[in-house]
Structure 1
């Protein structure tokens, strides 16, 4: 179910599409009328807020008075929690804020590139300061749509990056940050952004072990997806969650839908035949169909159609190693899982090392021991 506030919090009224249309007019009269309507204020109450009497507010709204004094306009902008440029004023504070928006958008994009390249720790380091600065601005009552959109994107990026670098027992922290993004998104009335936030939050819930909630969020994301590309981004994660939940019918339907969409959309690090192959294998095991997974693995693996992100290579090695072990190929399993240990350690992926430990178990004690040593080293680094 899409998360929406029961009552739209008045402090966030400038974030709505309707507000953006009003602000675009740069008309103080229209802005005051909108503010009063959203807050349920009389002209006298709005006058008290901005420092004018009811008669003067009425005159402004009726177009009988035009306010041009820069000091007065800056004061009104501050009282209404608006950036000064909305009322035709440009000062250093507003210029700095607009620079933060432009720089912040670049930071979010570069952090995602870093995460995809196997440098999630660096992504976290870049996103923390941005999130803190935007949250401080929101707490001060400045809730312009562009700032809130950036805050939502930054929280999503931070949660996803943390989901790569944290061990399993701390993955709830990653889900916490993606959930906080959803709280912002619910005010923005943007279906595509909502679908994206639900998708990313659902995936972090799955990794944190909250599989039922994950499936619910991902089903909603798929339903809200406004186009094939957006839906294709959801389906691999939904298939993963369905497998983890043990829901064979949902897994099979989702894999079938995903396979069809691969012919219609551009491939990404998540949406491609190699990723779907790994997801299907893991899902078959998760739904109690190990024999089907072994048969599927014996078939020729799909050829890569796009460069695979480093962490996806680790994930694929672990899943393939598990299938080899279930099929009785101990030597092959050891080879694949040993590679996975090396790469997971190099990329600082603690929860993937935990997957290797579970996969190897007592049957592959040497591999499990190497993974435990690597995990212990990462824990020391995380603690520092």
Structure 2
């Protein structure tokens, strides 16, 4: 008795000449890296560990969720013979990577991120919001990352361990039709959110949406002067004077309870100037809550004001996505520069995964996509083909096993 099998049995239909890591890195144009390195002069005085080697090492950290310099350098020692697809020329020792994170200007990583966003932003964009509003809607918020080192000026109470808890605040702007940050600004955790308003560009084709933590009447006056729209929530203790009750038409969503023109006082030293704004009161029946929105958009329907603020939830989901899927609980350096480099590399990886997810016809949860790539980072799988039909090899193997013939 003997058995025969087809010669093709057991061969993967998803083989690739590049590892999964190489395929992900190939989304970053090498010429773009060289251009930014030259612009920032980031390889000056560098003998071996170039900016590109540094970038790939830090991206490896984010993809594989490494939590220490020792873990990165140790894991990368096993990459011998596997680096040709992403052109890594020098695997760093722990001290080499530590020095690079401390000394190399974070600007080159920031520029690479923004160039990637420029390249893929149109592809990631969803034009439906802009088609309705006819303006660019931008959401901004901040998230504090806690640190148990005196990296930025320490804030907060003493922890039980006796260490003073410091922190870095990451202020982020996201275009509502995209799913990745378009602007990032860092500050000490104790810095008040409204300071970030000074960093925003104002123009008549933009509407900013933000939480009430950013309330600043002088900024609202500035927005209005530059014809820049905004939508936020009014503070519970806000002082204002009602000017006019506006009619709520029958075609407006019945969750709109009130639509009013109000006047607030803008303090400038000893002087006070009046500023007219619009207050929309909306009842959310799903969450059984009443919201009061503040805006300078007088021509927009009241229910669209409420809908604009609802879009703000996207940035909360983004912060959650970044913190859950990437190593932002563990930092590889005890200095501000190292932390910023690590955050920008996480943003680059997040953008690359967003591009992969958008290209797929098959629906994948973001966290599942990240986990799969982490497990198979250096397997030679054709990533896109596999993700579109991950069961294909199993189905083929099963079919081939049923074709075994037994000859007596």
Q: Same fold (TM over 0.5)?
A: no
Q: Provide TM-score, normalisation by structure 1.
A: 0.24
Normalized per residue, the structure richer in helix is 1
Which structure has more strand as a fraction of its residues? Answer: 2
Q: Larger relative contact order (C-alpha < 8 A, sep ≥ 6)? A: 2
TM-score by length of 2: 0.23
